[in-house]
Amino acid sequence: MHPDGRLAERPVSSNRSLLRPALVVTLCVALGQVVGAVTQMVIAAAFGAGADLDSYLIATTLPQFVIAVLMTALSFVLIPTFVEYSVAGHESDAWKTANSVITLCMLLLALLALMGMLSAKFHVRLVAPGSSSDSLSLAAKIAVVLWPTVLLTGAVNLLSSLYQAKNRFTWPAIVAALGSAANLVLILILTRTTLGIESLAVSLLLSLVLQVVLLTPVLSGRFHPRIDWGDPGLRRIVSLLWPLICSSLVARFTPVLERYLASDMGAGTISQLGYAYKIVVLLAALISTGMGTVIFPTMASTVAKNDMAGLRRAVSQGFRMMWLGIAPVVAIGFALALPITVVLFRRGAFSQADAAAVSRLLQAYLLSLIGMSLGSITGRTFYALKRTRLIAVMGGVSTLTYFGYAPLFARHWGALGIALACVVLFNLDVIVNTVVIRAMTGKPRGTALMVSFVKTGLAAVVGGCAAWGISRLVANVWAQMVFGGAGGLAAYGGTLMIVRSTELKTLAVIVLDKVGSRSA
């Protein structure tokens, strides 16, 4: 990078090398997210936004909390350690550490799953004390089925991490898409039986079993159950992990608090929040998973080589290319929130009133997409630097602050306040994290990054205005979404060309290279 912040030729080449696998992974993720969106449509038609779906979401709260606390950070701690051993030529040591980590995690998750199943009636009442007794009884039955998914999800995360540590990104993404497809097929079949809402839990359980089976080849005879407390790799991972777990007990508690606050806002409120948030989570996965997955081993490698300039380039590249997707999605999605919600969910048990409520929540949650997606880059940067205690402290402080303003927001604005609190949490986090990363890795002027953000943001606003204007010209919601979305994207792309976006040029080169290589 030049002193004035402009990109040199080498970073452009690096951009392209990162984007090739990122695009492949993103395509796989896109397929999975499309299937996930269809799954939500099926669920909406079958169960609407009522008490039964509230029960299911209540039941998922603590199992998801356990996974978020224990597994999300573990994969980011395991990959740099594995990569560091591999870069040093100690492949056997890397697998020894992986064996210990997998064995320890599976034992711990199995114990937690058993405890969760035995205490289901107790913990669902703690999560949603304002819900009816019938809803809580149903939630307890569903929770018994859901707790084993903690063990299976942990296995999927660990196995996927091993693939990624070996720079094999495509197969885990394909398996995730296949898991989503299997889940959808099972839901279509089982919702027609007497299982009712419990069919969602059974479908999830079986789809996770399939994913574990498909991912186990990465072990290829290398896995031997063992816990070697003398292994320096295991000790390092535990040392890095325990502060994150302590912090995550607070930081990952936000969904629990949201369900707690929403439980006395009337039947269906938890479901409406869940639908809106799920759309944004699907979009965040689509935008950030490809680039975030591919860039993380690169970050870990630059840190292993003490190349802070390379790490800064990787962060900048990740930010700029990811913002290229975030900005139009937020702007156009905000303009078309109601048509999108109606097209996705307005059928069967999902009413027009539900659609109106979910679309308002979706507009708020879309703003959190910025912090969610960019946070996948800043979070990976801290993990690559092995500064887990720092990110643990910052995450804990951020969430404790959230515990203060979220109830106030909920009291003043109801369900919308819960969504707005989420927006503040994610976006404030990514701002603080970016400032800290710049201080840790050096302080280049960052002119290119700021110019890129301004250009892309301006183009997105133009695209959002175009989408809104076009949608006002037609009455049919399908036409509003299709023509408004297409017009918005065209205006966005055209504006990027007018302002001469470097990122758009890089993306075009990658796509043309892919097409050319296949045709050859």
pLDDT of residue 143: 95
User: Are the C-beta atoms of 319 and 475 separated by less than 8 Å?
Assistant: no
Question: What does 164-188 look like in DSSP terms, one character per residue?
Answer: HHTT--HHHHHHHHHHHHHHHHHHH
Query: pLDDT > 90: what percent of the chain?
Result: 41
Question: Do 383 and 76 touch, CB atoms closer than 8 A?
Answer: yes
- Sequence-distant (6+) residues with CB within 8 A of 253 are 65, 399, 403
Average pLDDT, the chain: 84
pLDDT tens digits, one per residue of 97-116 = 888 888 988 998 999 999 99
pTM for this prediction: 0.74
**What tens digit of pLDDT does each residue of 475-484 get?**
999 999 999 9
By three-state DSSP, how is residue 451 classified?
helix
The mean per-residue pLDDT over the stretch 467-488 comes to: 94
SS (HEC) of 254-296: HHHHHHHHHCCCCCCHHHHHHHHHHHHHHHHHHHHHHHHHHHH
Domain boundaries, the chain: 51-266
Please write the tens of the pLDDT for every residue from 395-425.
878 888 998 999 999 999 999 999 999 999 9
Q: How far apart are CA 271 and CA 361, in angstroms?
A: 11
HSE on the CB side for 137, CA within 13 Å? Answer: 3
**pLDDT tens, residue by residue, 147-194:** 999 999 989 988 988 887 777 777 888 898 899 999 999 999 998 888
Return the closest-CA partner of residue 361 out of 418, 424, 286, 404.
418
How far apart, in Å, do the first and last CA atoms of the chain sit? 34
Confidence of residue 63 (pLDDT cuts 50, 70, 90): very high
pLDDT band of residue 388 (cuts 50, 70, 90) is confident
Percent of the chain surpassing pLDDT 70: 88
- Asked whether residue 511 carries a pLDDT value surpassing 60, the answer given is no
The pLDDT value recorded for residue 269 is 92
> Which residue in this structure is represented by tokens 């979401």?
57
424's tokens: 């503040």
